[in-house]
Amino acid sequence: MDTNKTKDKQYLFDNPKNIKRVLYTLYASCFLLVVLDFVIHRHVYHSWENLPLFYPLYGFVGCVVLVFVAKWMRTFLMRPEDYYDNPKDDYDIPDDVDSEHTLKNAADENTHKGQTDQTTNTIGGHDVDA
């Protein structure tokens, strides 16, 4: 019953103006912090902190670098969602102890042996009968 009502309801951020407001608040606070950086006398523990706007720049650049590096990591780390789930994967065979996979696989390997066993026996058997 709620869903019918909510469909028509306008939520806070359905109105693009509100999103703009949030963003402008953020821009304004950032600007204020830049100004404060020059106003407030800071205790400096380290020479790097003497650089004007050290923290804002470090935060901004750090995050941009973080995102770009992470994006680049996707190029070689990303796999399909079911990468580890695929039952045909090699990984699942030793993991699913005694499952059909193992048996099937074992059968593949053993078919040759089974045949050889039979042939040797029949050879022996013929000889006995002869």
Partner 1 sequence: MWMLELPPFTLFFIGGLIAAMTRGKLRGAIMVAIPVISAIHLWTVPEGIHLQLTFLDYELVPYRADKLSLMFGYVFHIAAFISIIYSLHVKDTVQQVAAMFYAGSALGAVFAGDLLTLFVFWELLAFTSVFLIWARRTSRAYHAGMRYLIIQVLSGVILLVGALFYAAETGSLAFGYIGLEGVAGWLIFIAFGIKCAFPIAHTWLTDAYPEATPTGTVLLSAFTTKVAVYALARAYPGTELLVYIGAAMTCFPIFFAVIENDLRRVLAYSLINQVGFMVVGIGIGTALALNGAIAHAFNDVIFKGLLFMSMGAVLHMTGRINGSDLGGLYKTMPKTTILCIVGAASISAFPLFSGFVSKSMVMSAALETGHDWVWLMLLFASAGVFHHAGIKIPYFAFFAHDSGLRASDPPNNMLFAMFISASLCIAIGIYPAALYSLLPYDTGYNPYDATHVLAQTQLLLFSALAFVWLNLRGMYPPELRSTNLDVDWIYRRAIPAALQKVFAVIWKADGALRQAIRGKLSQYQSAIANKHKGLGGLLSGSYPSGNMVLWVAVILASYLFMVFIG
Rounded least distance, CB 124 to partner 1, Å = 6
Give the type of residue at 83: Y
Please give the Cα distance from 126 to 124 (Å, whole number): 6
CB 52 within 8 A of CB 37: yes
- Residue owning tokens 């399909």: 80
User: According to the binding rule CB under 8 A, does residue 3 interact with partner 1?
Assistant: yes
Rounded least distance, CB 99 to partner 1, Å = 11
CA gyration radius, the chain: 35
User: According to the binding rule CB under 8 A, does residue 84 interact with partner 1?
Assistant: yes
User: According to the binding rule CB under 8 A, does residue 33 interact with partner 1?
Assistant: yes
Please give the Cα distance from 71 to 77 (Å, whole number): 10
* Tokens of residue 50, six digits: 């003497």
Rounded least distance, CB 21 to partner 1, Å = 13
Residues that bind partner 1 (CB under 8 A): 2-3, 6, 9, 11-13, 23, 26-27, 29-30, 33-34, 36-37, 40, 42-46, 48-49, 53, 55-64, 66-67, 69-71, 73-74, 77-85, 89-91, 93-95, 109, 112-113, 116-117, 120, 123-124, 127-128, 130
